[in-house]
Structure 1
Amino acid sequence: MSTRVTLLGSTGSIGTQGLQVIAAHPERFEVEVLAGGANTRLLAEQAARHRPSLVAAAGGTREKLAAAIAAAAEDAGVTGYVPEVVVGEEAATIAAGAPTDVVLNGITGAIGLRPTLAALRSGARLALANKESLIIGGPIVKDVAAPEQIVPVDSEHSAIAQALRSGRADEVRKLVVTASGGPFRGLDRAALREVTPAQALKHPNFAMGRVITTNSATLVNKGLELIEAHLLFDVPMERIEAVVHPQQIIHSMVEFHDGAVIAQLGLPTMLAPIALGLSWPERLTDVETPVDWTQAQDWRFEPLDDEAFPAVRLAQQVGAAGGTHPAVYNAANEVGVDAFHDGAARFTDIVDTIEQVLQRHDDARFDAHTVEGVLAADAWARDEAAGLLRTA
C-alpha cells in the first residue's frame, strides 16, 4: 500500500524536490494534495502529472486555477481528471488538514504556522521544512504534536535526528549545527554594509528562495536553526552551538557525554533529508549520490564571527528567553529582508533591526500558548521593524 502525501509549497524549492523524490519512487508514494504559491502554471502542471484529489493555492480564483489545471491536463494527454480546487488565505491550512499519511510542509515564513497545526491535528506525520512555524509557535506546536509525529526536513536537523539514534537522550552532551558561513564568510562589518541584494542571493552550496538565501547570508537562518533544534530535541540552548563548515558535507553532529561525536555526511543537497522525511524511519534507495571516497577532499571548521554576524548570538538569547521572543525575531527579520531587497535598507540593517525590535519587545503583552497571541506578537514586530526601517 502506497503512502499518501500532501505537499505544502509544492512550487517552491522543497516542494519541487519532494515531487522529484516521489516521482522516482512511484511504487512507494502517491500525491494526495498539492498546495502551491503564485506560480499557477507550475502548480497546474504538477497537478496534471501527479493527479492529486485536492489542489490549493493562496492567490487567484478557483475558476482560473481549475482552467489552468484543465489546460495542463489536456497538454499532458490526461483525460477525466477534475480535482477539488481550493483558493484563498486558508487554502494551505485546508490542504494540510485533508486526510493523508504524510504532510511535507515546505512553505516559507510564519504563514506556515496554521498549516503545521492543521497537519498535526489531522494525525498525519509532519515532514517539517517550514522551521518558522515551530520557532514562532513552539509551545503550541509541541502541545499539539504526538511523540515522534514531527520529522525534521532541514538538512541540519535531519542530520541530528539521525545521529541521535546512536544513543539515549540522557547521553547527549551537545548538539553542533554546521553552517556554510554564507557568501560573505570572512568579511568584516564595514564590508557587509555595502553588500547588494544580488550578492546576497549567491549561496555557495544550496539553491533556495529569496528569504532563506538571504537568511543564510546574514546567518539568521543558522540562528533560527539553533532555536528549532532546541524545540525539536528538547536540548537546552546553552548546549547547542554552531560551527562554520564551508564545504557543507557534514550536515550536523551530536556530541555524547563519553566524548564520542556522531556526524551525518552527504552532498550539500536537500534530496536525502526530504526523502527521509517522507519515508521515516526507513530509507529509500538511490536518492542521492554518496560522497566520492576515491577523491582527495579537505573539510574545514571555523568558529563563527559573532561581531560581523551577530544573528546567531541574538538567536541563542531569544531561544533561551522563549515565549514570543522567537516570533518577534523571525517577524522582524522577514520585514528586514524585504526592505533590503526593495532597496530601503542596508544588509547590516536586517540584523540591527531585529536587535532593536527585541529590545522593545514586552513578552508579557502576548500569550505564547495561543495562535492569536503568537500572531499578535508577529504583527507587532512587523509594524515595529517597518517603523524603524523607515526612520533609519
Structure 2
Amino acid sequence: MTIFEDTWARAERHRPLRVAILGSSGSIGTQALDVCRKHADKLKVTALAVNSSCERLVAAAREFGVPHVAVADEARRGDLALSELPEGCEVDFGRDAVTRLASLPDVDCVLVAVVGEAGIWASYEALLAGKVWAPANKEALVAGGDLLMPMARPGRVLPVDSEHNAIFQCLVGERRSDVHCIWLTCSGGPFFGRSRDELERVTAAEALAHPTWTMGPKITIDSASLMNKGLEVIEAHHLFDVPVDDINVLVHRQSRIHSAVEFADGSVKAQLGPSDMRIPIQYALSYPERWESPCERVDYRGLAPMTFEAPDTEAFRCLALALEAGRVGGTLPCAMNAANEVANAAFRAGACGFCDIDRVVESVMDGTRVEPVCSLEQISEVDGDARRRAQAALEGMRR
C-alpha cells in the first residue's frame, strides 16, 4: 500500500475527529494541542501520552476533558500532580500503556510524536486497529517502514513532518507513475558552509541554535548534522514508494518551500508557507479539508530572494551514511538510527565531539549484519544491539 491510493472519504470522518496525541508535552504535541484548541468544534482530544511530564499532562487533560492518559515513565506512578486529573479520566503507566491508547474505540486518529522505539509500537498498534496514522516519529518509518507501510489502509497515513506533509500535498490527485523525483528541502542548519575541520570544533550550544525552526534538542542536533534530512529521505522512500536515489536533498536556507515534487513532463509542484509546524499538523488532522490558518500569513511581496544549493556530504557525513543505509535497507536503517541517537545524546552531554556522531554511526553500520525486517521484536533486538555497540565505540574514543 502507498498513500497514492484512494483518499479517505469525507463521509468516513467522525465529527468531531477524535484524536490521540502521543507525546503531547513535546514540541509537536503542544502545537497539535494549539490546533485542537483553535478548532474545538472539529477536533476532540480523547487520549494523551507523555514520557514523564505529569503537570503538563494534567493541564491538557483538564483543559480538553480527556478521558484517557498514559505516562511512559513507570517511576511517575506516585506523582502528586496526577491527583488533579479530571474526574473519570483513566491513567496508566509504561510503554505498553502508551501503545494501548492507539487502539481505543473512541480514537479515530493517532498522532505519534513520541521519541524513540515506543513510537514504533504505537504506530503498529494504530495501523493494526485501522486508525488514521499521523506519524511525527522518525523511528517508526526509518526502522520499521518495511513492516508498517504494508499494514496501512488506503488514505489513512497522513504525515506530519513539514517536508513529508508538503510532498503529500503536492501529490494529491497525482499518479505514482507520473513522479520523476522528489525535492526534499533542507535549511542547512546552523553550520551551513562550514568545512569538516571547522565542524570538529563546534559546541552543542552552537548546534542547538537552529536558524528557522523551533524543535526538541535531539532533532535540532540532527538538523545541525543533516542526519535529520537523511532520516527524512528514508521516511519519504517508505511513505511515497520512491527510490532513495530519486529523492534529492535541496538546501533552501529561507525555509519557505517545504518540499517539491517533479513530474515526468518537467512540471514541479512545491508547497510554500510559514515556518510553523501548526500548518502541517492541521492539514494532517483536517485532510481532505482546509481550515483557517493557525498562524500569521506570509506576504510574498516582501520576501528576500530564495536560494537553492546542494548539501555538502563530505563535511556532513551523517547525511551520506543515512542515504547509504536507505539504499541498503533491511535492518541497517534501524541500526544506523539507534547509533545516531546514542551519539547525539553523548554530544549534547559533552561526552564527544560533533564529528564523532558520524564516526560512531559509521562504526555501527560497518558491524551490522543486514537482514530483512520481519517483526517488531527483531527491530527491538537490532536497536538494542546497535545502541550497545555505539556506546562501546564512544568509550573507545575516550581512551
- Decide: shared fold, TM above 0.5: yes
Higher mean alpha-carbon deviation, 36-45 vs 174-183, is at 36-45
Report the aligned-residue RMSD.
1.4
Q: Which of 261, 266, 271 pairs up with 1:264?
A: 271
Per the alignment, residue 91 of structure 2 pairs with 85
How far does residue 57 in structure 1 lie from its aligned partner after superposition?
Answer: 0.5
Matches within 5 A, 1:263-342: 263-342=270-349
Query: Which region of structure 1 is more displaced relative to structure 2, 333-342 or 137-146?
Result: 137-146
Tell me the alpha carbon deviations over residues 297-336 of structure 1, each in whole angstroms, 9 at most, x when there is no partner. Answer: 2111111111111222222221111100110110000000
Which letter maps to 1:52?
A: V
After TM superposition, the runs of 4+ consecutive aligned structure 1 residues lying more than 6 A away are: none
| Alignment of structure 1 residues 1-392 onto 2, 5 Å | 1-60=15-74, 64-65=78-79, 67-71=80-84, 81-99=87-105, 100-165=107-172, 167-364=174-371, 368-392=373-397
Moved more, 97-106 or 325-334: 97-106
* Matched-pair contact (CA < 8 Å) for 2:19–2:111: yes
The Cα shift of 1:109 comes to: 2.2
Instruction: Work out whether residues 45 and 66 of structure 2, in 8 Å CA contact, stay in contact via their aligned partners in 1.
Output: yes
Distance 1:214 1:223 in 2: 13
How many residue pairs end up in the alignment? 382
Give the SS at the match of 1:281.
coil
The Cα shift of 1:254 comes to: 0.2
Judge conservation of contact 1:173–1:256 (CA < 8 Å) in 2.
Answer: yes
Change (3 A) 1:132 1:246: same
Give how far 1:289 is off.
2.4
- Structure 1: gaps spanning 5 or more residues: 74-80
User: Contact 2:222 / 2:228 at 8 angstroms: preserved in 1?
Assistant: yes
Q: Which amino acid aligns with 1:226?
A: V
**Residue of structure 2 in register with 1:76 after alignment:** none
Superposed CA deviations along residues 149-198 of structure 1, whole A, max 9, x for unmatched, are 21110000000000112531111100010000000001111111111111
What amino acid sits opposite 1:381 in the alignment?
A
Are 2:95 and 2:118, in contact at CA under 8 Å, matched by a contact in 1?
no
Q: Distance in 2 between matches of 1:293 and 1:265?
A: 10
Residues 273 and 296 of structure 1: is their aligned pair in 2 closer, same or farther, counting only changes over 3 Å?
closer
Mind listing any 5+ residue stretches in structure 2 that lack a counterpart? 1-14
Matched-pair contact (CA < 8 Å) for 1:110–1:331: no
Check whether the contact 2:22–2:110 (CA below 8 A) recurs between aligned residues: yes
Quick one: structure 1 residues 178 and 63, their matched pair in 2 at CA, closer, same or farther if it must change by over 3 Å?
closer
- After TM superposition, give the deviation of residue 63 of structure 1 in Å: 5.2
Closer/same/farther in 2, CA of residues 339 and 61 from structure 1, 3 Å limit: closer
Question: Please, what TM-score do these two structures have when normalized by structure 1?
Answer: 0.94
Distance 2:260 2:285 in 1: 22
Cα offset for 1:62? 7.1
> Quick check: 2:225–2:319 contact (8 Å CA) kept in 1?
no
- Report the secondary structure of 2:302's partner residue: coil
Q: Distance in 2 between matches of 1:53 and 1:245?
A: 43
Q: Distance in 2 between matches of 1:226 and 1:13?
A: 22
- Percent identity (aligned): 42
- Superposition TM-score, scaled by structure 2 size: 0.93
Deviation per CA, 1:256-308, whole angstroms, max 9, x where unpaired? 11111110001111011000111222111122322213314211111111111
Distance 1:287 1:216, change over 3 A: same
Distance 2:323 2:77 in 1: 47
Work out whether residues 70 and 82 of structure 1, in 8 Å CA contact, stay in contact via their aligned partners in 2: no
Q: Which amino acid aligns with 1:379?
A: G
